[in-house]
Chain A
Amino acid sequence: MTESDIGVRKALRGVAVSPGIVIGKARLVDRSKVKIFYQYLLGDDQLNREIERFEEAARTTEDQLNAIKNGMPEQLKGHSFILDSHLMILKDSMLHDATIQRISKEKINAEWALKKSLEEIRWAFNQVDDEYISNRVNDVENVVERILRNLSGDEQQSLSHINERVIIVAHELSPGDTSELNPSKVMGFITDAGGRTSHAAIIAQALQIPVVVGLESATKVVGEGDLLIVDGNSGEVIINPDDEVIIEYQEKHLRHEKYKSSIARVSHLPAITLDGHPIVIKANMEFLEEVTAAREHGSEGIGLYRTEFLYLKSKELPSEEELFQDYREVAEIIAPEPVTIRTLDLGADKFASRHEIDREANPALGLRAIRFCLKEPEIFKRQLRAILRASFYGRVQLMFPMISGLQELLDAKEIMGQVKDELNRENIEYDHSIKVGIMIEIPSAVTMAEILAQHVDFFSIGTNDLIQYALAIDRVNEHVAYMYQPFHPALIRMIRQVVNAARDAGISVSVCGEMAGDPFCVCILLSLGINELSMNARAIPIIKKIIRTISIEEARADFENVMRLSTAKEVQAHVSNRMKSLVPELAEKGYFEGWDYLLD
């Protein structure tokens, strides 16, 4: 491979973590400059000030646009229309008035409200078939970007202020980095490090931008300004492609978009198998804003609410009130459907500033999640209080992560009992029959499932971590990312053991890892006796469609065949073949280049 010859086609292959195809210019980013884009709730007394802050930023934006327009050189005057339309968009009721209404009604900060308005406008433009018109959403994004920049003062360096449409190339992006990426500007990103289930990947999916990680040498091979094609479906990154390749990828992109809209139309209907078994489909979420997407995509509740974001976004620990408001809002929006809130799943390293904990050599095996919470009961109690208080306002379930054995579960329940006593003493209302469950993600918990099932209301199998711990792979280590194998026969046997234990104890069991939203895994999970799946909201339409083509009886019969296979490769080939016979129209259309292709 000649790396320096511009125009010579070069390609890298990594791990595709967030689907879609983009073509754009590379922007190399030194991630040390990054700040977080804050979202916060306001008190009633702050609303007017926040509206004024937004108006002020809008006025500044207007002045800037006028200044640019007036300063245009003579030969460009013909293009001033674009600035006129931006000025019009700036004052448009769908943007300006809607944002002010959001600030005062939803009591959220201007940036957040503006972003929400943009989302709604973007949604409206998405409905338009005419590409010429739907592309105009770029102008709206331009204006919003400008307002956002003015709202934040002079933080020009942060990733949220990249004001060109670019593909970010970085060694690695932290969850904080990716959560501040402005999806209206950043077309996609590629990184040297990272694996399929790294948090950055999860956030990228929420942002709905194509991402390929684990490329190892992207920051060395790609130059600033290179033209890139990022295929978030196959994991391929092409550097300086020729016209033919660009056209090929544009066609791929269009085909994908068409297919997606055809399945989205029936996603609100329940998922019932051919032989009449209903399967419960829920959504995973991390940010408050995702609740609406979950509903829109036809989910029947939130099966996993990751609660880390509030702890990561600020240096200070979030207050009980802040946590409570957040959980309450999710519970209220999703009601009457349930939300399962997972308690803190962070490592002690995230709290290093407050707690003098040495840097761990193996954080994934270290003091994190429930272990950390049990060691820091005050932090744990604060969150439990907030969750319990929120349970009064909807259907809340509580879930402990990283349980490795019975003692931890009993200790966690003991602390929860203390918190309940406190609330009782203070006459604070909560759901006294709140359901408590655990994540099954450590191999020892699989082995102990039979015993653990006696003490909880439900199990949720976190396949991401379970695969990592069972197969001994570091999920962000690019050298072993390929070993992340959902079809490993060991994993299939582990899931079966958990399902059997749950069934014998009469408790429910769901899968909430990425496997749940993987079209190729559905059939196997159903055949194992799983009847509840929780996934990235965007996967719901395709998963529902596939479930409607499956007969549980047949799937169970086929499972006997799967159990006779002894390598992940064999299982994968078997599943691939089966999928082709189950959903032939998918196969015909050539969508089997990678299952991610089926998702947004």
Chain B
Amino acid sequence: MIRMELCKKIKIMNDLGLHARAAARIVGLGKQYKSQLFLKKGDREADGASILSILTLSCPKGTEIEARIMGEDSEAFMERLSQLLERGFEESR
């Protein structure tokens, strides 16, 4: 099995930050992949599969986080995640 770990720094672009709906989108996205996602802010790291963990990481707009994805399909996962975050979850506000 190929074990890959990818890291990428991403800036939170949407107005509300990683609020409930955004966090739910991330968790939902993760369910489509086998890889595990972790989101790091400063010295704290959240489990990307836990909506509560992401929410309590507290990431308002402009926060820089580091996404770390481990597993065989990490590349595809990272691509979709970056898209989602960079487009600000396609929020219409």
Shortest A98–chain B CB gap in Å is 10
- B29-50, CB under 8 A of A: which get 1 and which 0? 0000000000000000001011
Q: Are B56 and A128 in contact (CB under 8 A)?
A: yes
Q: Are B24 and A85 in contact (CB under 8 A)?
A: yes
Is A314 an interface residue when CB atoms closer than 8 A count as contact? no
Q: Are A92 and B50 in contact (CB under 8 A)?
A: yes
Cβ 8 A contact of A92, one of B16, B19, B51: B51
Q: CA A121 – CA B18 in complex, angstroms?
A: 17
Q: CA A127 – CA B50 in complex, angstroms?
A: 17
Most buried by A among B24, B49, B51, B55: B55
Q: Could you say which residues of chain B place their CB within 8 Å of the CB of A136?
A: 19-20, 55
Most buried by A among B21, B24, B51, B60: B51
Q: Are A132 and B19 in contact (CB under 8 A)?
A: yes
- A57-96, CB under 8 A of B: which get 1 and which 0? 0000000000000000000000001001100110011110
Is B70 an interface residue when CB atoms closer than 8 A count as contact? no
| A88-B51 in contact given A130-B17, A132-B16, A136-B20 (Cβ < 8 Å) | yes
Shortest A73–chain B CB gap in Å is 21
Is B83 an interface residue when CB atoms closer than 8 A count as contact? no
Q: CA A136 – CA B47 in complex, angstroms?
A: 18
Q: Are A128 and B58 in contact (CB under 8 A)?
A: yes
| A94-B60 in contact given A88-B24, A133-B19 (Cβ < 8 Å) | no
CB-based nearest B residue for A81: B21
Cβ 8 A contact of B24, one of A84, A93, A95, A127: A84
Q: Could you say which residues of chain B place their CB within 8 Å of the CB of A92?
A: 50-53
CB-based nearest A residue for B60: A130
Interface size of A by CB at 8 A reads: 21
Cβ 8 A contact of B52, one of A84, A124, A129: A124
Q: CA A85 – CA B51 in complex, angstroms?
A: 8
Q: Could you say which residues of chain B place their CB within 8 Å of the CB of A89?
A: 51-52
Is B27 an interface residue when CB atoms closer than 8 A count as contact? yes
Q: CA A81 – CA B47 in complex, angstroms?
A: 21
Shortest B78–chain A CB gap in Å is 22
Q: CA A139 – CA B20 in complex, angstroms?
A: 10
Is A140 an interface residue when CB atoms closer than 8 A count as contact? yes
Q: CA A23 – CA B41 in complex, angstroms?
A: 35
Interface size of B by CB at 8 A reads: 19
Shortest B19–chain A CB gap in Å is 6
A-facing residues in B1-39 (Cβ within 8 Å):
16-21, 24, 27-28
Shortest A147–chain B CB gap in Å is 15
Q: CA A133 – CA B22 in complex, angstroms?
A: 11
Shortest A520–chain B CB gap in Å is 36
Q: Are A95 and B21 in contact (CB under 8 A)?
A: no
Q: CA A127 – CA B19 in complex, angstroms?
A: 15
Q: CA A125 – CA B17 in complex, angstroms?
A: 15
Chain A contact residues: over half helix, strand or loop, or mixed? Answer: helix
Shortest A121–chain B CB gap in Å is 6
Q: CA A89 – CA B23 in complex, angstroms?
A: 11
Q: CA A140 – CA B20 in complex, angstroms?
A: 11
Q: Are A140 and B52 in contact (CB under 8 A)?
A: yes
Q: Could you say which residues of chain A place their CB within 8 Å of the CB of B49?
A: 93
Shortest B37–chain A CB gap in Å is 13
Shortest B69–chain A CB gap in Å is 17
- A125-149, CB under 8 A of B: which get 1 and which 0? 1011110110010011000000000
B-facing residues in A126-175 (Cβ within 8 Å):
127-130, 132-133, 136, 139-140
| A93-B47 in contact given A124-B52, A128-B55, A128-B56 (Cβ < 8 Å) | yes
Q: Could you say which residues of chain B place their CB within 8 Å of the CB of A85?
A: 20-21, 24, 51
Q: CA A89 – CA B49 in complex, angstroms?
A: 11
CB-based nearest A residue for B57: A128
Q: Are A121 and B52 in contact (CB under 8 A)?
A: yes
Q: Are A125 and B55 in contact (CB under 8 A)?
A: yes
CB-based nearest B residue for A132: B19
Cβ 8 A contact of A94, one of B24, B28, B53, B58: B53
Q: Are B56 and A125 in contact (CB under 8 A)?
A: yes
Q: CA A95 – CA B55 in complex, angstroms?
A: 14
Q: CA A222 – CA B16 in complex, angstroms?
A: 39
Q: Are B52 and A95 in contact (CB under 8 A)?
A: yes
Q: CA A124 – CA B56 in complex, angstroms?
A: 6
CB-based nearest A residue for B47: A93
- 27 A-B pairs whose Cβ atoms sit less than 8 Å apart in the complex: A81-B21, A88-B28, A92-B50, A92-B51, A93-B47, A93-B49, A94-B50, A94-B52, A95-B52, A121-B52, A124-B56, A125-B55, A125-B56, A127-B56, A128-B55, A128-B56, A128-B58, A129-B58, A130-B17, A130-B60, A133-B18, A133-B55, A136-B19, A136-B20, A136-B55, A139-B20, A140-B52
Residues of B within 8 A of A (CB): 16-21, 24, 27-28, 47, 49-53, 55-56, 58, 60
Given contact pairs A85-B21, A133-B20, enumerate 19 new A-B contacts (beta carbons under 8 Å).
A81-B24, A85-B20, A85-B24, A88-B27, A88-B51, A89-B52, A92-B52, A93-B49, A95-B52, A121-B52, A124-B52, A127-B56, A128-B58, A129-B58, A133-B17, A133-B55, A133-B56, A139-B20, A140-B52
Task: Name the 10 nearest CB pairs between A and B, nearest first.
Answer: A124-B56, A128-B58, A94-B52, A88-B51, A92-B52, A92-B50, A93-B50, A85-B24, A136-B20, A133-B55
